[in-house]
Homo-oligomer: A and B are copies of this chain.
Amino acid sequence: MLPFARVAIIGMGLIGSSLARAIRAAMPTVQLVVSDADEDVRERVIQLGLADDVTDGAGAAVVDADLVILCVPVGAMAAVAAEIGPELSPDTVVSDVGSVKESVAKVLGAALPGVHVIPAHPVAGTEKSGPDAGFASLFQGRWCIITPPPRADAMMVEKLAEFWRRLGARVELMDAAHHDRVLAVTSHLPHLIAYSIVGTASDLEAVTKAEVIKYSAGGFRDFTRIAASDPVMWRDVFLNNREAVLELLGRFTEDLVALQRAIRWGEGDTLEALFTRTRAIRRSIIDEGQDTEKADFGR
């Protein structure tokens, strides 16, 4: 049996449109209604045949849905919740894909008292945006973290888990606050650092921007890929996971200063020891199936 028969997706960007494609592929009989505020996007969604129905207002999309998934930036969740609230039935499950979970849980819980709010986060994506960037296999083999609020209905949580499993994801339940600390390490801090170093590199006097671009194959270009991610999405992530990011940033800066000191004083052994230790982590990530062995080209 299908976990959900009628699904509404709000926001047809990279994640929303990937979700629509994945649902179509894995559960073709699901009734799929989607909405997007941008007329061009709606038109593109119709051209691509991504849904059974496309609405402009989010409210119209959720009528009679058993599952609603909000695929908008974390900072836009409150406005969308206010819009759909009056149209929801009491049995509806409202979930989302936001990269931060504690603040989203709070916002959705407050705005939608009578329904099943079960936030989630598929740890899968790319640096691209919009409906053309999506693809059906995005969630295949990736983790989807569900963060059920304290008194969530266990059966609804299991239905949502089953839904994500059908899309190819591996599911894990986690406390929202812990999710935010884990993702601060594995995603938010790396993005912040990448944005920062790309910013630094483009502001130098001794080395021109043209030179930075020309010789970027030395390692820098790997950072620019991450630093090309959607600005609004990431602004919202940092504003909504402030504490965890700031705490971690403190730790990172401390470690970097120690490394700086080792370079200044020519402590080769310290450097080599750290550089050897980090190799093992890479190995584990490949063993866990979260990346490929294939070498990256150009250093």
Residues of A within 8 A of B (CB): 99, 123-128, 133, 138, 142-143, 145, 172, 181-183, 185-204, 206-207, 209, 211-229, 231-232, 234-235, 238-239, 242, 245-246, 248-249, 251-253, 255-257, 259-260, 263-264, 266, 268, 271-272, 274-279, 281-285, 288, 290-291, 295-299
Q: Please, which residue of chain B has its CB at the minimum distance from the CB of A137?
A: B297
Q: How far is the CB of A77 from chain B (nearest CB, A)?
A: 15
Complex contact A299–B264 (CB within 8 A): no
A192 / chain B contacts, CB cutoff of 8 Å: 256, 259, 263
A225 / chain B contacts, CB cutoff of 8 Å: 222, 282, 291, 296
A251 / chain B contacts, CB cutoff of 8 Å: 200, 203-204
Max count, chain B CB within 10 A of own CB: residue among A185, A188, A290: A185
- Decide: A218 near B190, CB < 8 A? Known: A228-B279, A278-B198: yes
- Decide: A213 near B182, CB < 8 A? Known: A218-B123, A255-B196: no
Q: How far is the CB of A294 from chain B (nearest CB, A)?
A: 9
Complex contact B278–A260 (CB within 8 A): no
Complex contact B252–A200 (CB within 8 A): yes
- Decide: A295 near B128, CB < 8 A? Known: A196-B256, A202-B278: yes
Q: How far is B196's CA from A218's CA once the two chains are assembled, in angstroms? A: 17
- Decide: A220 near B272, CB < 8 A? Known: A281-B202, A290-B213: no
Q: How far is the CB of A131 from chain B (nearest CB, A)?
A: 14
Complex contact B224–A281 (CB within 8 A): yes
Q: How far is the CB of A194 from chain B (nearest CB, A)?
A: 8
**The residue from B143, B218, B252 contacting A217, defined by CB atoms under 8 A apart:** B143
Of the A-B pairs whose beta carbons lie under 8 Å apart in the complex, a sample of 15, sorted by A's number, is A124-B297, A126-B296, A138-B297, A190-B197, A193-B197, A197-B252, A201-B281, A216-B290, A224-B278, A225-B296, A228-B278, A231-B271, A234-B275, A245-B263, A249-B263
Q: How far is B137's CA from A297's CA once the two chains are assembled, in angstroms? A: 10
Complex contact A213–B285 (CB within 8 A): yes
Q: How far is B269's CA from A175's CA once the two chains are assembled, in angstroms? A: 30
**The residue from B190, B223, B235 contacting A271, defined by CB atoms under 8 A apart:** B235
A279 / chain B contacts, CB cutoff of 8 Å: 227-228, 231
